[in-house]
Structure 1
Protein backbone atom coordinates (compact mmCIF):
# COMPACT_ATOMS: atom_id res chain seq x y z
CA UNK A 1 0.00 0.00 0.00
CA UNK A 2 2.88 2.35 0.77
CA UNK A 3 4.18 2.06 -2.85
CA UNK A 4 0.73 2.65 -4.30
CA UNK A 5 0.28 5.98 -2.54
CA UNK A 6 3.32 7.72 -4.10
CA UNK A 7 2.41 6.33 -7.55
CA UNK A 8 -1.19 7.54 -7.21
CA UNK A 9 -0.04 10.94 -5.99
CA UNK A 10 2.38 11.29 -8.92
CA UNK A 11 -0.30 10.24 -11.43
CA UNK A 12 -2.81 12.73 -10.04
CA UNK A 13 -0.20 15.50 -10.01
CA UNK A 14 0.69 14.87 -13.68
CA UNK A 15 -2.98 14.78 -14.69
CA UNK A 16 -3.64 18.07 -12.88
CA UNK A 17 -0.55 19.66 -14.48
CA UNK A 18 -1.71 18.53 -17.95
CA UNK A 19 -5.17 19.94 -17.32
CA UNK A 20 -3.82 23.30 -16.13
CA UNK A 21 -1.44 23.64 -19.06
CA UNK A 22 -4.25 22.81 -21.52
CA UNK A 23 -6.44 25.49 -19.98
CA UNK A 24 -3.71 28.13 -20.03
CA UNK A 25 -3.11 28.03 -23.78
CA UNK A 26 -4.50 30.82 -25.89
CA UNK A 27 -7.47 29.75 -28.06
CA UNK A 28 -7.17 30.06 -31.80
CA UNK A 29 -9.56 32.24 -33.85
CA UNK A 30 -11.96 29.36 -34.53
CA UNK A 31 -12.58 28.96 -30.78
CA UNK A 32 -13.55 32.61 -30.12
CA UNK A 33 -17.28 33.28 -30.12
CA UNK A 34 -18.49 36.85 -30.57
CA UNK A 35 -21.35 37.99 -28.34
CA UNK A 36 -23.99 40.31 -29.76
CA UNK A 37 -25.34 43.14 -27.61
CA UNK A 38 -28.84 42.74 -26.19
CA UNK A 39 -31.59 43.37 -28.74
CA UNK A 40 -33.89 45.27 -26.31
CA UNK A 41 -33.81 49.02 -26.52
CA UNK A 42 -35.21 51.87 -24.45
CA UNK A 43 -38.38 52.13 -26.57
CA UNK A 44 -39.27 48.49 -25.85
CA UNK A 45 -38.74 48.97 -22.11
CA UNK A 46 -40.84 52.17 -22.11
CA UNK A 47 -43.60 50.47 -24.12
CA UNK A 48 -43.73 47.58 -21.65
CA UNK A 49 -43.93 50.02 -18.75
CA UNK A 50 -46.79 51.92 -20.42
CA UNK A 51 -48.77 48.70 -20.93
CA UNK A 52 -48.66 47.90 -17.20
CA UNK A 53 -51.62 49.15 -15.18
CA UNK A 54 -50.53 51.39 -12.33
CA UNK A 55 -51.27 50.14 -8.82
CA UNK A 56 -52.26 53.59 -7.60
CA UNK A 57 -53.05 57.01 -9.01
CA UNK A 58 -53.29 60.43 -7.36
CA UNK A 59 -55.86 62.98 -8.57
CA UNK A 60 -56.75 66.47 -7.32
CA UNK A 61 -60.28 67.26 -6.13
CA UNK A 62 -62.37 68.42 -9.06
CA UNK A 63 -60.75 65.99 -11.50
CA UNK A 64 -61.74 62.52 -12.66
CA UNK A 65 -59.95 59.25 -13.32
CA UNK A 66 -60.67 56.87 -16.20
CA UNK A 67 -59.67 53.24 -15.65
CA UNK A 68 -58.23 51.23 -18.55
CA UNK A 69 -61.65 49.61 -19.17
CA UNK A 70 -63.40 53.04 -19.54
CA UNK A 71 -64.96 53.17 -16.08
CA UNK A 72 -64.77 56.81 -14.89
CA UNK A 73 -64.74 57.87 -11.23
CA UNK A 74 -65.26 61.39 -9.85
CA UNK A 75 -65.35 62.92 -6.38
CA UNK A 76 -67.82 65.82 -6.34
CA UNK A 77 -69.84 68.11 -4.04
CA UNK A 78 -67.22 68.35 -1.28
CA UNK A 79 -68.78 70.31 1.57
CA UNK A 80 -68.07 70.84 5.26
CA UNK A 81 -70.95 69.89 7.57
CA UNK A 82 -71.69 69.03 11.19
CA UNK A 83 -73.53 65.79 11.97
CA UNK A 84 -76.91 66.02 13.69
CA UNK A 85 -78.47 64.46 16.76
CA UNK A 86 -79.50 61.24 14.98
CA UNK A 87 -76.26 60.81 13.00
CA UNK A 88 -73.33 58.66 13.97
CA UNK A 89 -71.25 60.11 15.50
CA UNK A 90 -73.39 63.10 16.43
CA UNK A 91 -72.26 66.73 16.61
CA UNK A 92 -69.08 65.99 14.65
CA UNK A 93 -67.55 68.26 11.98
CA UNK A 94 -67.15 66.27 8.76
CA UNK A 95 -66.78 66.61 5.02
CA UNK A 96 -69.55 65.32 2.78
CA UNK A 97 -68.77 64.20 -0.80
CA UNK A 98 -70.35 62.26 -3.65
CA UNK A 99 -68.54 59.46 -5.44
CA UNK A 100 -69.78 59.04 -9.00
CA UNK A 101 -69.03 56.20 -11.41
CA UNK A 102 -69.80 56.46 -15.12
CA UNK A 103 -69.75 53.07 -16.83
CA UNK A 104 -68.35 52.98 -20.37
CA UNK A 105 -66.92 49.46 -20.12
CA UNK A 106 -69.46 47.69 -22.33
CA UNK A 107 -70.66 45.49 -19.47
CA UNK A 108 -72.12 45.85 -15.94
CA UNK A 109 -69.75 46.76 -13.07
CA UNK A 110 -70.52 45.70 -9.49
CA UNK A 111 -69.83 48.70 -7.23
CA UNK A 112 -70.66 46.94 -3.96
CA UNK A 113 -66.98 45.99 -3.50
CA UNK A 114 -65.79 49.62 -3.32
CA UNK A 115 -63.57 50.42 -0.32
CA UNK A 116 -63.43 54.08 0.78
CA UNK A 117 -60.88 55.35 3.33
CA UNK A 118 -60.14 58.91 4.43
CA UNK A 119 -56.98 60.43 5.88
CA UNK A 120 -56.84 63.96 7.22
CA UNK A 121 -54.23 66.52 8.11
CA UNK A 122 -50.54 66.69 7.36
CA UNK A 123 -49.81 63.68 9.59
CA UNK A 124 -52.29 61.54 7.62
CA UNK A 125 -54.51 60.49 10.52
CA UNK A 126 -57.24 57.99 9.62
CA UNK A 127 -60.61 59.73 9.65
CA UNK A 128 -63.74 58.19 11.14
CA UNK A 129 -66.69 57.58 8.80
CA UNK A 130 -69.76 59.70 9.47
CA UNK A 131 -73.18 58.15 8.89
CA UNK A 132 -76.08 60.46 8.10
CA UNK A 133 -79.25 60.33 5.99
CA UNK A 134 -77.20 61.80 3.11
CA UNK A 135 -74.31 59.37 3.35
CA UNK A 136 -76.48 56.26 3.43
CA UNK A 137 -74.83 52.89 2.90
CA UNK A 138 -72.70 53.65 -0.14
CA UNK A 139 -72.91 51.57 -3.31
CA UNK A 140 -74.87 48.34 -2.91
CA UNK A 141 -75.39 47.20 -6.49
CA UNK A 142 -74.24 47.18 -10.11
CA UNK A 143 -74.04 50.07 -12.56
CA UNK A 144 -75.04 49.05 -16.08
CA UNK A 145 -73.08 50.02 -19.20
CA UNK A 146 -73.77 53.58 -20.30
CA UNK A 147 -75.23 54.53 -16.90
CA UNK A 148 -73.98 56.61 -13.96
CA UNK A 149 -74.25 55.77 -10.25
CA UNK A 150 -73.70 58.19 -7.35
CA UNK A 151 -73.43 57.64 -3.59
CA UNK A 152 -72.78 60.05 -0.71
CA UNK A 153 -70.03 59.57 1.88
CA UNK A 154 -68.87 61.43 4.97
CA UNK A 155 -65.51 61.55 6.78
CA UNK A 156 -64.69 63.29 10.03
CA UNK A 157 -62.81 66.55 9.38
CA UNK A 158 -62.15 68.80 12.40
CA UNK A 159 -62.56 72.52 11.80
CA UNK A 160 -58.83 73.15 12.26
CA UNK A 161 -57.89 70.62 9.51
CA UNK A 162 -58.12 71.26 5.78
CA UNK A 163 -56.13 68.50 4.02
CA UNK A 164 -58.14 65.44 2.97
CA UNK A 165 -57.14 62.27 1.14
CA UNK A 166 -59.90 59.94 -0.08
CA UNK A 167 -58.73 56.45 -1.10
CA UNK A 168 -60.93 54.43 -3.47
CA UNK A 169 -60.29 50.76 -4.28
CA UNK A 170 -62.78 48.87 -6.45
CA UNK A 171 -62.50 45.09 -6.63
CA UNK A 172 -64.45 42.77 -8.90
CA UNK A 173 -64.88 39.53 -6.96
CA UNK A 174 -67.28 38.10 -9.55
CA UNK A 175 -64.37 37.19 -11.85
CA UNK A 176 -62.36 34.12 -10.95
CA UNK A 177 -59.11 36.08 -11.14
CA UNK A 178 -60.30 38.52 -8.45
CA UNK A 179 -59.61 41.55 -10.62
CA UNK A 180 -58.69 44.63 -8.62
CA UNK A 181 -58.51 48.01 -10.29
CA UNK A 182 -55.79 50.47 -9.35
CA UNK A 183 -56.35 52.47 -6.19
CA UNK A 184 -57.29 56.11 -6.80
CA UNK A 185 -56.38 58.79 -4.26
CA UNK A 186 -58.30 62.05 -4.50
CA UNK A 187 -56.40 64.71 -2.53
CA UNK A 188 -56.67 68.39 -1.70
CA UNK A 189 -57.66 71.03 0.80
CA UNK A 190 -61.22 71.65 1.95
CA UNK A 191 -62.16 75.29 2.61
Structure 2
Protein backbone atom coordinates (compact mmCIF):
# COMPACT_ATOMS: atom_id res chain seq x y z
CA UNK A 1 0.00 0.00 0.00
CA UNK A 2 1.45 3.29 -1.12
CA UNK A 3 1.36 6.25 1.25
CA UNK A 4 1.13 9.83 -0.15
CA UNK A 5 3.40 12.37 1.55
CA UNK A 6 2.54 16.08 1.42
CA UNK A 7 5.62 18.31 1.88
CA UNK A 8 5.35 21.12 4.42
CA UNK A 9 4.60 24.67 3.06
CA UNK A 10 7.52 26.98 2.20
CA UNK A 11 8.15 29.95 4.48
CA UNK A 12 6.74 33.38 3.35
CA UNK A 13 10.11 35.01 2.73
CA UNK A 14 12.92 34.43 0.28
CA UNK A 15 16.61 34.04 0.85
CA UNK A 16 18.35 36.90 2.68
CA UNK A 17 19.40 39.92 0.55
CA UNK A 18 23.17 40.36 0.42
CA UNK A 19 24.46 43.58 2.03
CA UNK A 20 25.33 46.54 -0.33
CA UNK A 21 28.96 46.96 -1.32
CA UNK A 22 30.92 49.37 0.86
CA UNK A 23 30.97 53.05 -0.30
CA UNK A 24 34.17 54.58 -1.61
CA UNK A 25 36.13 57.01 0.54
CA UNK A 26 34.48 60.47 0.89
CA UNK A 27 37.79 62.23 0.37
CA UNK A 28 37.95 61.06 -3.27
CA UNK A 29 34.56 62.68 -4.03
CA UNK A 30 35.63 65.96 -2.40
CA UNK A 31 38.90 65.99 -4.34
CA UNK A 32 37.06 65.46 -7.64
CA UNK A 33 34.64 68.36 -6.93
CA UNK A 34 37.53 70.64 -5.99
CA UNK A 35 39.34 69.81 -9.24
CA UNK A 36 36.24 70.66 -11.31
CA UNK A 37 35.76 73.98 -9.47
CA UNK A 38 39.42 74.87 -9.99
CA UNK A 39 39.13 74.23 -13.72
CA UNK A 40 36.08 76.53 -13.96
CA UNK A 41 37.87 79.35 -12.10
CA UNK A 42 40.98 78.98 -14.26
CA UNK A 43 38.89 79.17 -17.43
CA UNK A 44 37.15 82.35 -16.20
CA UNK A 45 40.47 84.01 -15.33
CA UNK A 46 41.93 83.10 -18.72
CA UNK A 47 38.88 84.56 -20.48
CA UNK A 48 39.22 87.83 -18.59
CA UNK A 49 42.97 88.15 -19.19
CA UNK A 50 42.73 87.41 -22.90
CA UNK A 51 40.21 90.26 -23.34
CA UNK A 52 36.94 88.40 -23.74
CA UNK A 53 33.96 90.65 -24.40
CA UNK A 54 33.67 94.10 -25.95
CA UNK A 55 34.79 96.21 -22.98
CA UNK A 56 38.09 97.35 -24.54
CA UNK A 57 38.37 101.15 -24.30
CA UNK A 58 39.12 103.15 -27.42
CA UNK A 59 42.32 105.21 -27.27
CA UNK A 60 41.82 108.95 -27.25
CA UNK A 61 43.34 110.68 -30.27
CA UNK A 62 46.52 112.64 -29.86
CA UNK A 63 46.45 116.36 -30.50
CA UNK A 64 48.97 118.61 -32.17
CA UNK A 65 48.90 122.38 -32.40
CA UNK A 66 49.77 124.58 -35.35
CA UNK A 67 50.28 128.32 -35.11
CA UNK A 68 50.61 131.09 -37.66
CA UNK A 69 54.25 132.14 -37.82
CA UNK A 70 54.72 135.84 -36.97
CA UNK A 71 56.79 138.15 -39.14
CA UNK A 72 60.54 138.02 -38.63
CA UNK A 73 62.04 140.66 -36.37
CA UNK A 74 58.98 141.02 -34.11
CA UNK A 75 58.85 140.25 -30.40
CA UNK A 76 56.47 137.38 -31.09
CA UNK A 77 58.96 135.87 -33.53
CA UNK A 78 61.70 136.08 -30.91
CA UNK A 79 59.46 134.38 -28.36
CA UNK A 80 58.63 131.59 -30.81
CA UNK A 81 62.32 131.09 -31.57
CA UNK A 82 63.10 130.79 -27.87
CA UNK A 83 60.22 128.34 -27.49
CA UNK A 84 61.53 126.17 -30.32
CA UNK A 85 64.98 126.10 -28.73
CA UNK A 86 63.47 124.82 -25.47
CA UNK A 87 61.38 122.14 -27.16
CA UNK A 88 58.21 124.10 -28.00
CA UNK A 89 54.69 123.33 -26.83
CA UNK A 90 54.12 119.63 -26.28
CA UNK A 91 51.01 118.32 -28.04
CA UNK A 92 48.41 116.73 -25.81
CA UNK A 93 50.16 117.93 -22.64
CA UNK A 94 46.84 118.85 -21.02
CA UNK A 95 47.52 122.61 -21.05
CA UNK A 96 45.05 124.98 -22.67
CA UNK A 97 45.67 126.20 -26.20
CA UNK A 98 45.45 129.85 -27.21
CA UNK A 99 42.16 131.08 -28.60
CA UNK A 100 43.71 131.42 -32.07
CA UNK A 101 45.46 128.02 -32.14
CA UNK A 102 44.49 125.26 -34.58
CA UNK A 103 44.17 121.80 -33.06
CA UNK A 104 44.80 118.83 -35.37
CA UNK A 105 43.55 115.40 -34.28
CA UNK A 106 45.28 112.19 -35.28
CA UNK A 107 42.40 111.26 -37.61
CA UNK A 108 43.15 114.44 -39.61
CA UNK A 109 40.31 116.61 -38.35
CA UNK A 110 41.21 120.22 -37.53
CA UNK A 111 39.39 122.57 -35.14
CA UNK A 112 40.02 126.31 -34.80
CA UNK A 113 38.29 129.39 -33.33
CA UNK A 114 38.27 132.96 -34.65
CA UNK A 115 36.32 136.23 -34.87
CA UNK A 116 35.56 136.85 -31.19
CA UNK A 117 33.11 139.70 -30.56
CA UNK A 118 30.72 140.71 -27.80
CA UNK A 119 26.99 141.31 -27.87
CA UNK A 120 23.77 141.16 -25.85
CA UNK A 121 20.99 138.70 -26.63
CA UNK A 122 17.51 139.93 -27.51
CA UNK A 123 14.37 139.61 -25.41
CA UNK A 124 13.36 136.60 -27.50
CA UNK A 125 16.66 134.77 -27.06
CA UNK A 126 17.56 131.97 -24.68
CA UNK A 127 18.72 133.28 -22.31
CA UNK A 128 17.31 136.73 -23.01
CA UNK A 129 19.07 140.08 -22.45
CA UNK A 130 22.34 138.35 -21.64
CA UNK A 131 25.85 139.63 -22.49
CA UNK A 132 27.69 137.10 -24.63
CA UNK A 133 30.73 136.50 -26.79
CA UNK A 134 30.28 134.95 -30.21
CA UNK A 135 32.97 133.34 -32.32
CA UNK A 136 33.42 131.20 -35.42
CA UNK A 137 34.22 127.50 -35.09
CA UNK A 138 35.85 125.98 -38.15
CA UNK A 139 36.16 122.23 -38.65
CA UNK A 140 38.32 120.92 -41.50
CA UNK A 141 37.79 117.25 -42.33
CA UNK A 142 40.92 115.84 -43.94
CA UNK A 143 40.01 112.28 -42.96
CA UNK A 144 38.63 109.55 -45.22
CA UNK A 145 35.11 109.57 -43.76
CA UNK A 146 32.36 112.06 -43.00
CA UNK A 147 32.16 113.85 -39.65
CA UNK A 148 28.75 114.46 -38.08
CA UNK A 149 28.77 118.06 -36.86
CA UNK A 150 25.82 117.31 -34.61
CA UNK A 151 28.13 115.06 -32.55
CA UNK A 152 30.38 117.98 -31.66
CA UNK A 153 30.51 119.20 -28.08
CA UNK A 154 31.11 122.85 -27.17
CA UNK A 155 31.18 124.30 -23.66
CA UNK A 156 32.37 127.60 -22.20
CA UNK A 157 33.60 128.98 -18.90
CA UNK A 158 34.71 132.45 -17.87
CA UNK A 159 36.46 134.34 -15.09
CA UNK A 160 39.06 133.35 -12.54
CA UNK A 161 36.56 131.09 -10.76
CA UNK A 162 35.66 129.22 -13.94
CA UNK A 163 31.94 129.91 -14.00
CA UNK A 164 29.98 128.06 -16.67
CA UNK A 165 29.04 130.22 -19.64
CA UNK A 166 25.60 129.23 -20.87
CA UNK A 167 25.16 128.74 -24.61
CA UNK A 168 23.18 131.57 -26.20
CA UNK A 169 20.53 130.98 -28.87
CA UNK A 170 19.29 134.00 -30.77
CA UNK A 171 18.77 135.19 -34.31
CA UNK A 172 21.81 133.97 -36.25
CA UNK A 173 23.01 131.99 -33.23
CA UNK A 174 21.60 128.51 -33.74
CA UNK A 175 24.13 126.41 -31.85
CA UNK A 176 25.56 123.29 -33.47
CA UNK A 177 24.70 122.67 -37.14
CA UNK A 178 22.75 119.55 -38.01
CA UNK A 179 24.83 118.40 -40.97
CA UNK A 180 27.69 116.14 -42.01
CA UNK A 181 31.14 117.34 -43.04
CA UNK A 182 32.22 115.20 -45.97
CA UNK A 183 35.79 113.98 -46.36
CA UNK A 184 37.99 116.73 -47.76
CA UNK A 185 35.47 119.47 -46.88
CA UNK A 186 35.22 122.07 -44.10
CA UNK A 187 32.45 123.77 -42.14
CA UNK A 188 32.33 127.12 -40.33
CA UNK A 189 29.53 128.25 -38.02
CA UNK A 190 28.94 130.89 -35.35
CA UNK A 191 28.57 129.95 -31.70
CA UNK A 192 27.87 132.14 -28.66
CA UNK A 193 28.40 131.77 -24.92
CA UNK A 194 27.46 133.91 -21.96
CA UNK A 195 30.22 136.35 -20.98
CA UNK A 196 29.46 139.18 -18.52
CA UNK A 197 30.71 142.61 -19.55
CA UNK A 198 33.22 142.82 -16.70
CA UNK A 199 34.77 139.44 -17.50
CA UNK A 200 37.60 139.09 -20.02
CA UNK A 201 38.94 135.56 -19.54
CA UNK A 202 37.23 132.95 -21.72
CA UNK A 203 37.68 129.19 -21.89
CA UNK A 204 36.14 127.15 -24.72
CA UNK A 205 36.20 123.35 -24.85
CA UNK A 206 35.54 121.70 -28.22
CA UNK A 207 35.49 118.07 -29.37
CA UNK A 208 34.77 117.28 -33.05
CA UNK A 209 32.95 114.01 -32.25
CA UNK A 210 31.98 111.66 -29.43
CA UNK A 211 35.19 109.60 -29.73
CA UNK A 212 37.64 112.52 -29.51
CA UNK A 213 38.96 114.22 -26.42
CA UNK A 214 38.06 117.83 -25.81
CA UNK A 215 40.54 120.55 -26.72
CA UNK A 216 40.64 123.49 -24.32
CA UNK A 217 41.12 126.97 -25.80
CA UNK A 218 41.65 129.86 -23.39
CA UNK A 219 42.59 133.53 -23.46
CA UNK A 220 41.51 137.13 -22.97
CA UNK A 221 38.61 138.67 -24.87
CA UNK A 222 38.37 142.45 -25.29
- The corresponding residue for 1:156 is 194
**Gaps (5+ residues) in structure 1?**
1-51, 173-179
Does the Cα contact within 8 Å between 1:127 and 1:156 map onto a contact in 2? yes
Report the alpha carbon displacement of residue 157 of structure 1 after superposing the two structures with TM.
Answer: 0.5
Does the Cα contact within 8 Å between 1:100 and 1:148 map onto a contact in 2? yes
- The corresponding residue for 1:65 is 103
Matched, 1:125 2:163: yes
| Structure 1 stretches of at least 4 aligned residues deviating more than 6 Å after TM superposition | none
In 2, Cα distance between the equivalents of 1:115 and 1:67? Answer: 15
Equivalent of 2:212, from 181, 185, 189? 181
**Gaps (5+ residues) in structure 2?**
1-60, 63-91
CA RMSD of aligned residues (A): 2.0
In 2, Cα distance between the equivalents of 1:75 and 1:133? Answer: 20
In 1, Cα distance between the equivalents of 2:197 and 2:215? Answer: 25
- The corresponding residue for 2:141 is 103
Report the alpha carbon displacement of residue 138 of structure 1 after superposing the two structures with TM.
Answer: 1.1
Q: Which has the higher contact order (CA 8 A, sep 6+)?
A: 1
TM score, norm. by length of structure 1: 0.65
Matches within 5 A, 1:54-93: 54=92, 58-93=96-131
Does the Cα contact within 8 Å between 2:156 and 2:165 map onto a contact in 1? yes
Larger Rg: 2
Give the secondary-structure state (helix, strand or coil) at the position aligned to 1:112: helix
Matched, 1:112 2:143: no
- The corresponding residue for 1:18 is none
Which one has the bigger strand percentage? 1
Count how many residue pairs are aligned between Structure 1 and Structure 2: 134
